[in-house]
Amino acid sequence: MAAPVRTAIVRARMPDSYATSCLTDVNLATAPIDLALARAQHQKYVATIRRFVPVVELPFLGDEYPDAIFVEDTVLVAKGLAIITRPGADSRRREVESMAECLKVKTAKGATTTTTTATGVAGATTGDFTSIDAITAIEAPGTLDGGDCCLTGRHVFVGLSKRTNQAAIDQLDNALRPRGIPVIAVPIADTHILHLKCVVSVLAADTLVVSDSVEGRMVRERIEALNTGYKFVVVPDVVAANVLAIRGSGDALAAVIVQDRYPESQKALRAAMRARGEEDKVIELDLSEIIKGDGALTCMSVLI
Ligand code: CIR
């Protein structure tokens, strides 16, 4: 079972450059990003998470880092170990510094600490980092994006992708094997998806959401071949396969945030949640402008 979520880390604010300069390797949308709407969607996302768990805001990094809201790519935390990544895109590599700084400060200070962002952003709050007992980092020549790491609590499935290489997966395996969590590579480099979590995400300890697409089916087959026993909720829209479940102790669900504007997928997710007796925990958010930046729901936070 995954550890209960105690804190969420997000980026304080979206830079103007997000609208013009964020990386869009995959998204083929021709409509430009509406910056005001993108900001509103990011803020609503953070406010939604804040209803359920304390939120710590990383400092605003300015226009030099158009993709910095996608904090998921900078770290993964599994079995008490925080692993600072080395993002595959050069333009994003230094985003990790603020995450590493945040975690070092927090874990050094101990249990519950106060965060102060460089910009003094209102709303920054305290976070509980007690579940982290050590920090390490991916080193060159490894490259790894957190968006490629699907952590279920029992396994870490890692997309071997355009951003994440075998050297990093080997480092991850060396770091997590002693903690008893298998790291399993899922090759996706030859596909149209950016990250593994574009097509698969965790709904509950035993249940994954996967898209009904070539890539989604491929990932599902790879996971099923391992006899890991996961159940799958299949959604027709690729973007809807990325959901953000916030769970407390005993896998109790606080909320599951899903994409709005994908009615067939919403129907499938709601049916699955109804069957679990958890439909009242579903929250739909419209992230149209985040999707244009190749982002989805999990990318803008790290749950610890
Ligand atoms: C990028 O290409 O790096 C960003 N525009 C999108 C990153 C999305 N991150 C994620 O899914 N974890």
- pLDDT tens digit sequence for 150-162: 999 999 999 999 9
Determine the distance separating the centroid of ligand 1 and the alpha carbon of 118, expressed in angstroms.
Answer: 23
Determine what percent of the chain is predicted with pLDDT higher than 70: 93
Instruction: Give residue 267's pLDDT.
Output: 98
Q: Give the binding-site residues of ligand 1, using a 6 Å CB cut-off.
A: 22-23, 25, 67, 70, 72-73, 89, 92, 146-147, 194-195, 197, 293-296, 299
- Mean pLDDT (the chain, rounded): 92
Q: What is the pLDDT of residue 50?
A: 95
Closest C-alpha to 82, from 157, 179, 161: 179
Respond yes or no: is residue 155 known to be catalytic.
Answer: no
Domains of the chain, each with CATH number or no CATH = 8-303 (3.75.10.10)
- pLDDT exceeds cutoff 50 at 220: yes
Q: Is 61 left (phi over 0), alpha (psi -120 to 50) or beta?
A: alpha
Per residue, the 3-state secondary structure of 190-228, as one string, reads CCCCCCHHHCEEEEECCEEEEECCHHHHHHHHHHHHCCC
pLDDT at residue 1, rounded to an integer: 63
Going by pLDDT thresholds of 50, 70 and 90, the confidence category of residue 86 is very high
Q: Which residues pair with 209 in a beta bridge?
A: 201, 233
ipTM over 0.90: yes
Predicted pLDDT of residue 109: 59
Tokens 């390490």 belong to which residue? 136
Active site residue 198: no
pTM of the model: 0.94
Catalytic residue from among 22, 149, 198, 299 = 299
Query: What would the mean pLDDT of 273-297 be, rounded to a whole number?
Result: 96
pLDDT in tens, 161-190: 999 999 999 999 999 999 999 999 999 999
CA distance 130 to 297: 25
Contact of 240 with 258, CB cutoff 8 Å: yes
The pLDDT score that the predictor gives to residue 128 is 87
- Tens-digit pLDDT profile for residues 99-149: 999 998 877 755 444 443 333 343 445 788 989 999 999 999 999 999 999
